[in-house]
A and B are shown apart, each in its own frame.
Chain A
Amino acid sequence: MADLAPEDVSRLAASLSLPLTGDDAAEIAHRLNAFLDALAALDALPLEQVEPWPTRPEGIA
């Protein structure tokens, strides 16, 4: 997937009523692209083998 540009971030943020000021869009684009790359890499893991519980209930070994 191609990296998001600051203009993409500005449009997405506006559609969600999230505020941007000054040069926010450029830095947020770097942060968001880092997330998207890192989370795409998770596809290499056997994610379907587990349920996405945030924690393991107490008493379950």
Chain B
Amino acid sequence: MSPAGDDLAFAGAARQAALVREKRLSPVELVTTYLERIDRFDGRLRAFITVCRESALAEAARAEADAAKGAWRGPLHGIPFAVKDQVDTAGVLTTSGSALLRANVPSADSTVVERLKAAGAILLGKLNLTEFALGGTIRFPYGQPRNPWNPEHDPGGSSSGSGIAAAAALCSATLGEDTGGSVRSPASYCGAVGLRPTWGRVSRHGCFPAAWSMDQIGPLTRTVEDAALVLGIIAGYDVRDPLTSRSAVPDYRGALAGGAKGLRIGVVTELVDGADTQAEVRSAVRDAARGLAGLGASVEDISLPLIPFAGAVFMALCDSEAAGHHKRWLSERADEYDQGTRRRLVAAGLIPAAAIHRAARARALIREQVLAALAKYDLLLAPTSPHPAPAIASHTAPVTSKEDAAARFFGRRSYTTPASLAGVPAISVPCGFTAAGLPIGLQLIGRPLGESSVLAAAHTWEIAAGLSTRRPALTGSA
């Protein structure tokens, strides 16, 4: 029997695609299911900036007619997806989460959207984000995104809507963009799966830049299998992004069967046992490490002493790149920025060049330390975040001192930015819940182009833990 209602909505993209292929699921029914859920829940959650209602229904009808004729477009035939509003979509508003781009309608699709459509997927809408994917937005111009597990809490960022839509089953699969953790953080806070691929594994053509030397588009989904499915479609060389890798794209879904047996995993003590890591997070992550050992991995602690520098080094490099990119708009249209974004960019614009150069050299040192560890271990294991999703109100409080600024902006970023600074793949997969019912994310970091091992270990853990069957109790109030 085919799933229906909530069970259909929460079924993964891979399962739904199989049902469509077996002609047991209608793409029109699937799109309609998600449109009804968006109508019921998104007035509160604010995952979407734009919903492509009419075009999605028309595409679904076409997919259904093609399916009846046996004309299959690809592995995502008839499957609705949504993308972070940082990614260009032909003829569809693309705001990057900013009022400055409130009328921006690109004439062409980004490469990732083009590839998903070519695989048969249907664009359902565009997803909310922190302004220009930078984080720290105080007032969201397109609505305050909220965590599906507790709407008074932050869904994470910058791919906030992608995390919400995946966790609350508002579409089959989503894309986010991860510069310093912007896919992994919402995955962790929302209880979803988020993969940052190797830098250059996926084309960034048509994606508004946050920081060119670290930006990377990746899937945010409900299951690891779905992340593998989507990555296999969007990865690969693109002549329009000369920084993409020419390496062949492996069969990521096929690699899932590899499991964790025989993998060597290093547990990063600075992140698991660090003073910033809350006890419930430490306990869940240590349990996951023991679980992976029970699944056949060789697991031991490793120290990476440069990791605590990563947050500040990342922020200096990312924000100075962004400040350069935004210089003209900052001078001419400052009042159209959110206050938090504007202050972040202006502060970065005042960092002395010599200090930025020190950060660039420190980045190289951190990268070499991460890569040296990955020469010994197949994977590094850590919490995705030192804490579960914080209350939304904690973001809007004024910064009161330089110590407060360092704690708020550098500390938690040391958990996700080592992979960004090193350009290596990393995934966040749920590994538990706090007593208050908020998700906890486990981060697995792999070798350059080592997504197959990352996905295989995460998939094995996900099945053993059985957490992907838990669903948030959503309310429909606006």
B361 in contact with A52 (CB, 8 Å): yes
Smallest CB–CB gap between A8 and chain B, Å?
Answer: 9
- Bound-state Cα–Cα, A44 to B261, Å: 40
B346 in contact with A39 (CB, 8 Å): no
- Bound-state Cα–Cα, A16 to B335, Å: 17
B213 in contact with A19 (CB, 8 Å): no
Main secondary structure of the interface of A (DSSP, over half): helix
A45 in contact with B405 (CB, 8 Å): no
A13 in contact with B312 (CB, 8 Å): no
Main secondary structure of the interface of B (DSSP, over half): helix
- Bound-state Cα–Cα, A25 to B236, Å: 45
B362 in contact with A30 (CB, 8 Å): no
Interface size class of A (residues with CB under 8 A): 35 or more
- Which of B200, B339, B359, B401 has a CB less than 8 Å from the CB of A30? B401
A30 in contact with B405 (CB, 8 Å): yes
Q: Which residue of B lies closest to A46 (CB)?
A: B365
Interface size of B by Cβ–Cβ distance < 8 Å? 54
Q: Name the B residues within 8 Å of A3 (CB-CB).
A: 402
- Bound-state Cα–Cα, A2 to B200, Å: 41
Smallest CB–CB gap between B352 and chain A, Å?
Answer: 8
B334 within 8 A of A: yes
- Bound-state Cα–Cα, A9 to B346, Å: 10
Task: Give the interface centre of A34, A36, A37, A41 by most chain B CB atoms within 10 Å.
Answer: A34
Smallest CB–CB gap between A19 and chain B, Å?
Answer: 3
- Which of B309, B334, B371, B405 has a CB less than 8 Å from the CB of A42? B309
A28 in contact with B347 (CB, 8 Å): yes
B342 in contact with A24 (CB, 8 Å): yes
Q: Which residue of B lies closest to A48 (CB)?
A: B361
Instruction: Please give the residue numbers on chain A whose beta carbons come within 8 Å of chain B beta carbons, in ascending order.
Output: 3, 9, 12-13, 16-21, 24, 27-28, 30-43, 45-56, 58
Instruction: Please give the residue numbers on chain B whose beta carbons come within 8 Å of chain A beta carbons, in ascending order.
Output: 199-200, 213, 245-247, 306, 309, 312-313, 315-316, 330-331, 334-335, 339, 342-344, 346-352, 355-365, 367-368, 371, 398-406, 409-410, 423, 448
Q: A13-B350, A21-B335, A49-B365 are in contact. List 7 more A-B contacts (CB 8 A).
A: A9-B350, A18-B331, A32-B347, A34-B410, A38-B316, A42-B313, A56-B423
Which are the 9 A-B pairs with shortest beta-carbon distances? A52-B360, A19-B334, A38-B312, A31-B347, A34-B405, A54-B213, A33-B402, A50-B364, A47-B361
**A-B contacts, 30 listed (Cβ < 8 Å):** A16-B349, A18-B350, A19-B335, A20-B346, A24-B342, A27-B343, A28-B346, A30-B399, A30-B402, A31-B344, A32-B351, A35-B312, A35-B348, A38-B312, A39-B312, A39-B351, A40-B355, A42-B309, A42-B362, A45-B306, A45-B309, A47-B358, A47-B361, A50-B364, A52-B357, A52-B361, A52-B364, A54-B360, A56-B367, A58-B245
